[in-house]
């Protein structure tokens, strides 16, 4: 089996914290290489991310990699947060540009993901392994695929160690993207991001917002089951398992699962893979 990693988001309530604890315990059994924790720039989750990273590291014994966004933050604030993560024992950072929260007018001292990567390297050297984001189906705000690839290369040249893709359901999009990256001299590992399906209506909303394409055949098969929740869960697990099998056969270096703090959809896929 390839190296695995799981993404969590920081809980805000006691119920959400209990849910994350249950999920972390169950997925820890799969021996992930690391887990990541998302970041909300300028919002209420900002204070919850370090707290969650500390709990994942100290309570669950996981190698936790906090997401760090540069929007809305000063260099001093980012430096302070990185110093805290180093003290917690973090050895990885997922460095992202992020999106400016609604109503926030100040973009921050660093404008782009490449700026954030360069800042981390200049301030902390090789303290952290830096993962960055990339988009097999093109970033929704990019002018075109070539421009998007140029932005990706800038992050690599600034010092990124590896990249995690946005989720997708078309394996060919991933393989084409990797080939395109290699042709322009990007040699770092490009790890596919995998989104197990727990709620198809929710997935459609996510996909519209982030530019991930849901294939027509997949939508047709999902809607054909109507309200049959069991059938939808089985189909969802089979679809994502088939995607992972193609990625593994095609040479993907690892798999990164977007869990939404749920264990069952991811476990259903891993059970089929194993």
Q: What CATH code is carried by the domain that includes residue 255? A: 3.20.20.220
Residues in the chain: 274
Which residue do the tokens 């040249």 mark? Answer: 157
Q: Residue 105's pLDDT is what? A: 47
Report how far residue 113's alpha carbon sits from residue 119's, in angstroms, rounded to the nearest whole number: 10
Residues contacting residue 146 through CB under 8 Å, at least 6 positions apart: none
Task: Confirm whether 7 is a catalytic residue.
Answer: yes
Predicted confidence at residue 224, as pLDDT, reads 87
Domain total in the chain: 1
pLDDT tens digits, one per residue of 36-94: 999 854 444 456 899 999 999 999 999 999 999 887 678 998 999 999 999 999 999 99
Write out the two tokens for 108: 């921050």
Please write the tens of the pLDDT for every residue from 102-160.
444 456 778 889 999 999 999 999 999 999 999 999 888 888 889 999 999 999 999 99
More confident residue, 219 or 142: 219
Question: How many helices and strands in the chain, by DSSP H and E?
Answer: 10, 9
Query: What pLDDT, on a 0 to 100 scale, did the predictor assign at position 42?
Result: 45
At 210 the pLDDT is 83
Q: What is the pLDDT of residues 144-192, one digit of tens each?
A: 889 999 999 999 999 999 999 999 999 999 999 999 999 999 999 999 9
**Residue of 7, 33, 208, 245 marked active site:** 7
Segments forming the whole domain that contains residue 63: 4-273
What is the Cα–Cα distance from 219 to 235, expressed in whole angstroms? Answer: 11
Closest of 86, 107, 84, 91 to residue 35, by C-alpha: 91
């Amino acid at each position: 089996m390839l190296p695995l990693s799981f993404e969590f988001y920081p809980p805000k309530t006691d119920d959400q914290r209990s849910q994350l604890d249950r999920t972390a315990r169950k997925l820890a059994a799969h021996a992930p290489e690391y887990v990541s924790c998302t970041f909300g720039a300028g919002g209420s989750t900002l204070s919850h991310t370090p707290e969650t990273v500390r709990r994942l590291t100290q309570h669950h014994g996981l190698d936790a990699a906090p997401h760090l966004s540069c929007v809305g933050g000063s260099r001093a604030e980012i430096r302070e947060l990185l110093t805290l993560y180093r003290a917690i024992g973090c050895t990885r950072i997922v460095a992202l540009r992020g999106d400016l929260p609604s109503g926030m007018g100040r973009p921050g001292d660093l404008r782009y993901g490449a700026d954030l990567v360069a800042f981390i390297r200049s301030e902390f050297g090789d303290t952290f392994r830096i993962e960055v984001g990339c988009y097999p189906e093109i970033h929704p705000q990019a002018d075109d695929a070539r421009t998007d690839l140029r932005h990706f290369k800038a992050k690599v040249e600034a010092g990124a160690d590896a990249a995690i893709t946005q989720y997708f359901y078309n394996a060919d999009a991933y393989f084409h993207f990797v080939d395109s990256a290699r042709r322009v001299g990007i040699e770092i590992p490009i790890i596919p991001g995998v989104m197990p399906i727990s709620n198809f209506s929710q997935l459609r909303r996510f996909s519209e917002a982030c530019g991930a394409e849901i294939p027509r055949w997949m939508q047709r098969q999902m809607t054909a089951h109507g309200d049959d929740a069991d059938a939808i869960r089985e189909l969802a697990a089979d679809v994502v398992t088939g995607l992972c099998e193609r990625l593994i056969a095609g040479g993907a270096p690892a798999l990164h699962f977007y869990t939404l703090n749920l264990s069952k959809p991811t476990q259903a896929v891993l059970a089929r893979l194993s």
